[in-house]
Structure formats: C-alpha cells, structure tokens
Amino acid sequence: MNEPSSHPSEPLAVTTTGSADSVVTGIVYGLLAAVVWGISPVMIRLGVIGALDPYDLTALRFLISGLILLPLVVRRGLGGLGWGVTLIMVGGAGVPFILVMASGMTFAPAGHGGVIVPSTMLSCAMLGGWLILGDRPSIKRLMGYAVILAGIGLIGREGVVGSFNPDAWIGDLMFIASGFFWAMYTVAARIAKVDPLHATALVAVISMALYLPAYFIWSDLGVFDAPISEILLQGFFQGVVTAILALFFYTRAVACLGAARGAVFAALVPGLTIIFAYPVLGEVPSWMELAGVIVVSGGMVYALGLTRIKFTGSDPQADSRG
C-alpha cells in the first residue's frame, strides 16, 4: 500500500494521483474516529454517574465486541503476529485503557478526559516513534508538544483549584495514564502493520477472555441492577461503536497515513467533547478550561505540521515514501 510521508514536520502533500486515494481514505477514517472519540468521554461519564461503574462499562464493552469478533479470531488466530506485539496492542487499547479512563470519569468531567487523553497519546506516540521507529522530532514539533503540556497544565490547575470537584486532579492523572496506553497501541499497530479489523478483533477477544472471568468472580455485578435502557445504550456504544468501529477507523487511518499523521485527528477531540458534553451532561467549561482546550488544540496542530498543507500532482511513488 502506498502511504504518504508520516513525518509531521513536513507539510502533508495531497497528490492528484496514486497515493491521493490513500490520503483521502485515511482522512475519512480519521474523521469518523474523531467523532466517536469526541462522544466517547461523554458516554462514559454518563454511565459512571448513572447506574454503572467503570468495571461494568468495561465488561459491557468487551463482552459484546468480543462475542461479535470471536469468529474472526477463531478463523485467523494471531495472523502471524507474535504474542509480544499482540499483548502490547491489547494492553494499549483494551482493558487497561478503558478501565483507567472510565475510573477517571468518576473524578473529573468529560471535558477533561476529551482534552488530556488524546493530547497525552499524541505526545507519547511522538516519543515512541522517536525511540522505536526512529522518527526524530524537529524543533517545531517539540515546541508544539511543549504547548500541549502547557494546555494540560491549565486544565489540571482548574482540576485542583476549580469549583467543579476538588478531586478532579485524580481523574486528570488517570486520563494521562489512558493516553499513554493508547500511544502504546498506536506505535505497536504501526510496527506490526496489522490489518485493522484483525487488530480490532484481537483486542476485543483477548480482552474479553482475560477480563470477564475476573469480573464475574470479584465484581458486585452491578450491571444486572442497571435499567435495561442504560444497558442497551452503553452496550451498543461501548461494545460496537467504540470498541469495534472507532478502533477500526483509527487503525485504518494509521495504516493509510502513518502513526504520526493518523494521530492528527486527536486534535479534533477536545473541541468535540466540549460540544457534546454541554447538552448531554450540562458541563459548562470555565474560562481556564476553554483556554486549555484552545492551547492544547493549537499545540496539536503545530506539532503535527498542519500549519503548512500543500496540494501537488507529484509522482505517487515519491509521495509514498515515509
């Protein structure tokens, strides 16, 4: 598959031949993933302030997605992947990611998660790309990541001194951990060059096999006490939309655009989460939180080199070099 350059310090070249199809496909999948990501913190927060706890949401997510995708894993197995990279992907996008993120939502608002998780993912993916893939960041990229950290600091300060919840900083730390897990998946998926649907299936099925026995043995099984409407809503969104569709969309975007370029769509998530959280949860961000969102989003755009996008008609073979 022809791929555009994945080095975010260079302008994204969208050609009119060959690799243009890959770029457009990656952009479409990335936008779809961003919309789901933007809604996801809102839905998780809606669940944990209702009748479900983080353990219940995690169980619903992987019970449904694991059963749906089990036939694919039975038929294809690991598909040539080693257990090492497979378990890294499972750890990055599976139980640790969703359980820590959902737990963070019990302390902090959805808007915090929508900003901190993707920005942390982007920064950690940069470090992983540098140390593992040899993608050395430019000075401009490093400046962008510094701006991102400053924006997170604004939001974190609000979590400590703001009036929303004096314990919001605990949730913010959990969101940072979630972003680290997601970066693990990003880099591992790029290294493995794994088929998007197969990667999604492996994460779902292995997470189901590892988590559900422990959930049924040690959890209080609060999911059975929740209203059926809430179970159906969260089960569909967590088990189908987020666990299967969003992960597939994102992995496909990474396959088309590269790990760094695929991460660009995380820049849309903070604003989308704030937009969705207001009507659904009634969360009205403070001026400091809004400032943090703007600073983080701007840092993402700058770090990924999106201030210079050019359209060319160059040779697709030249464009496919990463």
pLDDT tens digit string along 82-139? 999 999 999 999 999 999 999 999 999 898 888 888 888 878 888 888 888 887 878 8
What does pTM read for this prediction?
A: 0.78
Neighbouring C-beta atoms of residue 208, cutoff 10 Å: 25
Q: Considering the domain boundaries, does residue 50 fall inside one?
A: yes
- CB count, 10 Å around CB of 276? 21
Instruction: Say which DSSP state 107 is in.
Output: T
- Please indicate, yes or no, if residue 94 is contained in any of the structural domains: yes
Q: Which two tokens stand for residue 274?
A: 């704030």
Query: Is position 281 within any domain?
Result: yes
Residue 5 domain flag: no
Q: What is the pLDDT of residue 186?
A: 85
Q: What per-residue string of b and e applies to 221-250 under the rule 16 or more CB within 10 Å gives b? A: eebeebeeebbebbbebbbebbbbbbbbbb
pLDDT mean values, one per 10 residues, the chain (322 residues): 36 44 84 90 93 94 95 93 93 94 93 86 86 83 83 71 72 94 89 85 95 92 89 94 85 78 73 87 83 83 63 42 40
Compute the distance between CA of residue 181 and CA of residue 98 in angstroms, rounded to an integer. 9
- Residue 9: per-residue pLDDT: 38
Residue 2 lies in a domain: no
Q: Does residue 46 lie in a domain region?
A: yes
Q: Is residue 6 part of a domain?
A: no
CA distance 208 to 200: 12
> Do the domain assignments include residue 293?
yes
> What pLDDT is stored for residue 254 in this prediction?
79
Which residue segment(s) compose the domain that 102 sits in? Answer: 12-319
Instruction: Give the Cα separation of 302 and 214 in Å (integer).
Output: 43
How many distinct structural domains can be found in the chain? 1
